[in-house]
Structure 1
Amino acid sequence: MVTPTRAQEEIRDHAALDLLVVAPAGCGKTEALALRVQGMLNRSEVVSPRKVLVVTFSNRARDNIRERLRSYIGVNTLRDRVSVVNFHGLSARIIRAHANVIGLSPDLKIPETDIIGKACKTRNFGYALESRVKDALRDAKLEPRSDLEVQEYLSTNREVHALEIEQERVSRGELSYDDLPRLAELILANERVASLYKAHFGAVVVDEFQDLTPQQLRIVNAIGYKRTTFAGDLAQGIYGFTGAKPSEVNAAIEEECTSRVTFAESHRSSPAVLAAVNSLSSLTSGVELTAAIPDRWPGGGMFSIVPFPDSEAEALWMVELAQGLLERAPSHRVGIMARTAARRRFVEAELVKREIDFMRWDDGVLDTDAARMMRSMLSSFDLRGYERAENKDQFLREAVGIDSVVETDSKKSLAEALVWCQDLLQQDVSVFEIRSRVRVGDDSTLVTKPGIHVLTGHAGKGQQFDWALIVGAEDGTLPFFKAESDEELAEEARVLSVMLSRARHGAVIGYAKNVRTQAGRPRDYDPSPFLLPLKKAEPRDRSSLRSWLASVDWEMIGAR
């Protein structure tokens, strides 16, 4: 266990069950939430047999907080007094136990994969149509509608393809990921059921409140209104495309909670990185942060903005910079990030050209058996047969022999790999390249290994790198050209802030005057408007960056 900070102690010792914890990246939020649960149990605010419900958004966040709870309250108390689940797990639990109260069978099939994406691929939908279908179904299910009302909504909005897929889902007795919170909310509208959960859980803790949809907030309130600790950071709210509404949810939580604790010290990032993040706070509604121990960062850390004539020159320079950083500090992790996967393709091409090993976060990360089967299939893949097949999803399933796999987790891993493979085939990626991109391992061994990592800003949320190299800071890419409303533009600024805040020692932002489109045509761009407020952080130019790299104590940096 670590020595708690003053803010963490305040959260632990706060007596009322309702609390808003504003915790920017790298400020010790997970530790604080574990302490919060410990304090509630020690003060007997939640008395046995009642439990504390801890809700996260990802399996990784769930596992992280479980690990911290074990160290503070012990394995037995964790098992008996705390339930740690992600939102899908909580919703599935409610559906399995009480589906009958809304006239549904408790035997409905809980999703293990993206069944909507699979249905779209079975129908050979292109990217645009698949996106429209998914958006239509998501929007239909963000409100507490019954199956019939969902179909009526889709019919009224003339979403023919989405309606067809929804009708087939209902007929098969399957659930999609979007169905889980929808049905959970419908079930909790039954006061008798809601009262069972209110009685069972004496307090609720929600991690990353800024990622809540209004629907998920209603589920939380049905169980623990005025008895919930919400922790997160509005400046990290970047999931509007999933239905999250950070500003709306934040306003509702501030009205619900009588007390608020704000973290303002970062234990993750250098003063230079924090200055960059702080310079965007007027756009992101973020907290002004300071380094907890500023003297621990050699040279105060580094932040730089570098212009380039074109995207190829940017990619070449960024790859060489990443190599130089790793030569000086081989144990470090360098994250090369972009707002979109398409914009970072120049970096990937340069890495492949130079035969530099790197971790592409979009790629299939598979267990050994699934990777072996995928590579075997792709080594003798019948591409012409695939292209002629009416049901391409079924073609892939038969080609890899998925029905012969008995072990559940391996089958799930293989099914997800087939979806990834089909996405790449639709993008005309060669079979040889797909095979070369199959990686063996798991999130803990590959995603956290030293070296170069290539990813989007959204994928990097919740992670950290020693260095963050951000490419593509052009108007139209960042902010994305589809962002028009004030809230959409604020979310784009948050994406940039999230990418910057991944960095420990230093961050570099690059932008290009000319970017070649995916069709191969050159196109001129203006710099991102977000670069203007970043000037307050006094970024280094290319020459000053070189001087910093040459003068800083690399022995000390490599040891941190």
Structure 2
Amino acid sequence: MSGPSASEARRAASPPDHRSSPDPVPAGAEQGLDPEQLAAVLAPVGPVCILAGAGTGKTRTITHRIAHMVTEREVGAGQILAVTFTNRAAGELRGRLRVMGVDGVQARTFHAAALRQLSYFWPSVAGTALPRLEKSRIPLMAKAANRARLRPDRAELRDLTSEVEWAKATMVAPTDYVRLAAAHGRETSFAPDVVARLYEAYEEVKSEAGVLDFDDLLLLTAAVVEEHGWVATELRARYRHFVVDEYQDVNPLQQRVLDAWLGDRDSLCVVGDANQTIYSFTGASARHLVEFPRRFPAATVVRLVRDYRSTPQVVALANQLLDGAARPAPDTRGASAVQAGPGVPGGAEGRSAAGRLVAMRPSGPEPVWLESDSEPEEAAAVARRIRGLLGTGVPASEIAVLYRINAQSEAYETALGRAEIPYLVRGGEKFFERPEVTGAVRMLRAALRSAETDRPGGLADVVADVLSGLGWRPGAPPAGPGADRERWENLAALHRLAADLEAREPEADLAAFAADLAERAAHQHTPTVQGVTLASLHAAKGLEWDAVFLVGLVDGTLPIVHAQTDEQLAEERRLLYVGVTRARVHLTLSWALARAEGARRSRRPSRFLDEPRRAAAVFRRGSSAARPGSARAEPGTGGNGRARNRSSVLCRVCGRALAGAEARVGRCEACPGGPVDGELFERLRAWRARRAKEQGAPAFVVLTDATLRLIAERRPSTVAELVALPGIGQSKLDRYGEDVLALVTGRPPAGSPSTG
């Protein structure tokens, strides 16, 4: 890290006052920017909050704002630090700015920026080199578990590691963990005091090994800036203007680092969308975004609402999901709020509508509602629809299957494999770490060193010639979706990168390509690989495809079974909203009424789909736009349009049509029922706590609070009555049925000395 140049220092010493006069419009800014985007670009230097809905062009907006600051406001490019949450996003920012002729802006993740700064300042502060960064916490956590005399399995070890990450991200010390974990409602595989002991052992093991983890980078960076005035002075002279992307995902530790960088200045532009807050389990909070105008009363607040990504049909469904959510609106009192554009009225009404998107793309197909009898049938139906999209010319790389939990991928890997459709599981091995890619890069470097002159002239041809040494040939890939196909696709992606570079820079040679690959590998800026993407909804954040399949949409999976509080359910709804807004044109929402083929169809579609499905059905009945022969399945039918024998039972509370287990109970799970036997409910909770402790599992794994409450309401006295309740499947009945029926009748369950 180096300090500012002499010219930058002189400019910083006497910065021009841009706040007292209207800002000049940059040349060409009117083209390609909508009114809200332009307002954000031209906002004065100072606090700016850009509330950017999905697909509204936030990256375009912030890159234009940065370019405008450099070219029109005479801000030194090296004095701007843009912070993102992924290396891919940082790489995209740098690439766009480079195309715009703006070099020198630092665009990094929080951790990358902290590592760079700490590496520079630490030797002077501590008198020694910065300790080594340990990229994986798992080995350290395994040693800590052994020291704490615990024997967690691999899944439990991952969960415990995630819990320690949460504690450090929220700045919770081991001594405070038990109290604050309870306050935050944390649910873990082990008792809170055990987690606290493990957390303390983890810190000891790490200290003895002389290594840092990623959270230590942020903690030490904040501490060094806060405690050493000369460090703060030098750092703040270097970076005077900050841009933070995805600000709704900032956790308390990252906010502390940002505050240390900023000091008492206010040149901070934040970009985010509270409706896409889906990482609260890691400590992320939209509070910093929502309260930004309170912290900076003079802030300019701009709302981007024009969705350029998705068709009106997809946007309408996304808006319906938002309409069903209770969400706080940012308080813009005292702020300079920009309200230009369609769908953004002023005042309180505008604040309530701020999350709604306005579609800018041409009309497209309606979302498809796909219901199946079982998960294997659902996966097969999705594979058939994907085959149909491929047949119409949609590339495999522009299709994604998104699910709530990673365990759901297996059924789709099987179905796509049988259909001979290539696929890639996102979240697996990183592209530049795959054996064929590392081998290809080594061969490219060897070819560069050999300086052979008899290779073909163009860069793409040179790279193809080198890759032929690995058995790769351009043209048709190997048949099927197996390892050979994936290997071919990865090498083809390298070849496409070479062709793209040659198109941008016709004189580019192998040395330029090697440098480009090195930069991409350093920042994990991976190329597009042909194949259908399989990914969790969390992993899909920030990505988009022409066609998206949202699968496994049943209560208990989305929302996930352990989401019980209002805020947890709200986050599950936001997760579905994120999934919907990944689709540009084609959107399919699917679910299965049973897990296995031939099993009892007791599941119900996700409660979040109730209103959108009802609205879709009304639209079809009342609109001439509904075309005969549409591939879209009616709610309550299979993907082939075959009607199900669905129950006509209505909820006794709200009147909604019920299906599956809810039909047998006679009301929606979310609706209030009859009187709950409070004493029975407490007996059930005490019994559940004992069983959970015996199993070493969270309480909700035994039975959820909702199921216990329903048992205390309905007081089942027979196996038939018990199994009719939601949450009591065959496995639960086998393990807990006898105990539950005993508790209902007031008898102690087997193996219990007393029920109290």
TM above 0.5, yes or no, is yes
Q: How much does 1:369 deviate?
A: 7.0
| Structure 1 or 2: more strand by fraction | 1
Are the counterparts in 1 of residues 49 and 270 from structure 2 also a CA contact under 8 Å?
A: yes
Higher relative contact order (CA 8 A, sep 6+): 1
**After superposition, where does 1:511-522 map in structure 2 within 5 Å?**
511-516=591-596
TM-score, normalised via structure 2 length: 0.57
1:253 paired residue among 265, 273, 292: 292
Q: 2:280 corresponds to which residue?
A: 240
Aligned pairs, number: 474
Q: Cα distance, 1:546 vs. partner? A: 8.1
Residue number in structure 1 paired with 2:629 = 547
Structure 1 residues 27 and 251: alpha-carbon distance in aligned structure 2, compared to 1, 3 A threshold: closer
Match of 1:31 in 2: 60
Q: What are the superposed Cα offsets for residues 399-455 of structure 1, whole Å, 9 maximum, x if unpaired?
A: xxxxxxxxxxxxxxxxxxxxxxxxxxxxxxxxxx99997784579978734542211
Task: After superposition, give the CA deviation of every residue in 1:453-493 in whole Å (9 maximum; x if it has no partner).
Answer: 21111111111111111111111100111222222222111
Tell me the alpha carbon deviations over residues 240-279 of structure 1, each in whole angstroms, 9 at most, x when there is no partner.
2222112x22233232342211111111110000011111
Q: What residue in structure 1 maps to residue 447 of structure 2?
A: none
What residue number does 1:218 align with?
256
Q: Say whether 1:265 aligns with 2:302.
A: no
Q: Does 1:229 align with 2:297?
A: no
Distance 2:132 2:291 in 1: 33
- Which amino acid in 2 is paired with 1:488? Q
Counterpart among 334, 345, 355 of residue 410 in structure 2: 345
Relative to structure 1, is the Cα distance of residues 235 and 369 closer, same or farther in structure 2, using a 3 angstrom cutoff?
Answer: closer
2:424 is matched with 359
Which among 120, 129, 132 is matched to residue 109 of structure 1?
A: 132
> Of 607, 631, 642, which residue of structure 2 is paired with 1:529?
607
> Of 109, 114, 121, which aligns to 1:91?
114
Amino acid at match of 1:118: P
Partner of 2:73: 44
Contact 1:94 1:187 in 2 (8 A): no
Q: CA deviation at 1:16?
A: 3.5
CA distance in 2, matches of 1:102, 1:152: 29
Pair 140,98 (structure 1): closer, same or farther in 2 beyond 3 Å = farther
Superposed displacement of residue 311, structure 1: 1.1
Does residue 1:15 correspond to 2:32, yes or no?
A: no
Task: Output the amino acid matched with 2:410.
Answer: R
Relative to structure 2, which stretch is displaced further, 251-260 or 267-276? 251-260
Which amino acid counterpart does residue 367 of structure 2 have in structure 1?
Answer: F
Matched position secondary structure for 2:81: strand
Of 461-470 and 216-225, more deviation after overlay is shown by 216-225
**Cα pair 2:550 2:590 within 8 Å, conserved:** yes
Structure 2 residue 265 is the aligned partner of structure 1 residue 183: no
Counterpart of 1:335 in structure 2 is: 400
1: CA distance between counterparts of 2:192 and 2:285? 25
Q: C-alpha displacement at 1:109, in angstroms?
A: 1.0
TM-score normalised to structure 1 length? 0.75
Paired residue for 1:557? none
Secondary structure, in 3 states, of the residue corresponding to 2:82? strand
Q: Secondary structure at the match of 1:90?
A: helix
Contact 2:368–2:631 at 8 Å: present in 1 too? Answer: no
In 2, are the aligned partners of 1:339 and 1:456 still within 8 Å (CA)? yes
- 1:467, 1:337 → 2: CA distance? 11
Please, which runs of 5 or more residues in structure 1 have no aligned partner? 375-432, 551-560
CA offset digits 1:276-335 (Å, max 9, x no partner) = 11111132747211222x4x34xx332122222211221111110011011012436211
- Percent of aligned pairs sharing the same letter: 25
Describe how 1:284-433 pairs up with structure 2 within 5 A.
285=327, 287-292=355-360, 294=361, 296-297=362-363, 300-331=364-395, 333-367=398-432, 370-371=435-436
Shift in CA distance, 236/331, structure 1 to aligned 2, threshold 3 Å: same
CA shift in 2, pair 1:547/1:20, >3 Å:
farther
Deviating runs (4+, > 6 A) in structure 1? 121-124, 433-439, 442-447, 520-523
The structure that is helix-richer by fraction is: 1
1:355–1:190: structure 2 CA closer, same or farther, 3 Å change rule?
same
Higher deviation after alignment, 307-316 or 269-278: 307-316
Are 2:319 and 1:278 equivalent residues in the alignment?
yes
Q: Distance in 2 between matches of 1:472 and 1:167?
A: 42
Q: Is the CA contact (8 Å cut-off) linking 2:140 and 2:205 kept in structure 1? A: no
Amino acid of the structure 2 residue aligned with 1:188: V
Superposition map of 1:71-220 within 5 A: 71-74=99-102, 78-79=103-104, 82-99=105-122, 105-111=128-134, 113-114=135-136, 116-120=137-141, 125-143=152-170, 157-159=193-195, 160-190=197-227, 192=229, 193-220=231-258
Q: Classify 1:464/1:367 alpha carbon distance in 2 versus 1 (closer, same or farther; 3 Å).
A: same
Specify the SS of the correspondent of 2:532.
strand
Tell me which of 616, 640, 648 is aligned to 1:538: 616
Larger radius of gyration, structure 1 or 2? 2
Aligned-pair CA distance for 1:72: 2.5
Contact 1:365/1:440 (8 A) holds in 2: no
1:472 aligns with 2:552: yes
Distance in 2, matches of 1:143 and 1:348, equals: 37
Match of 2:469 in 1: none
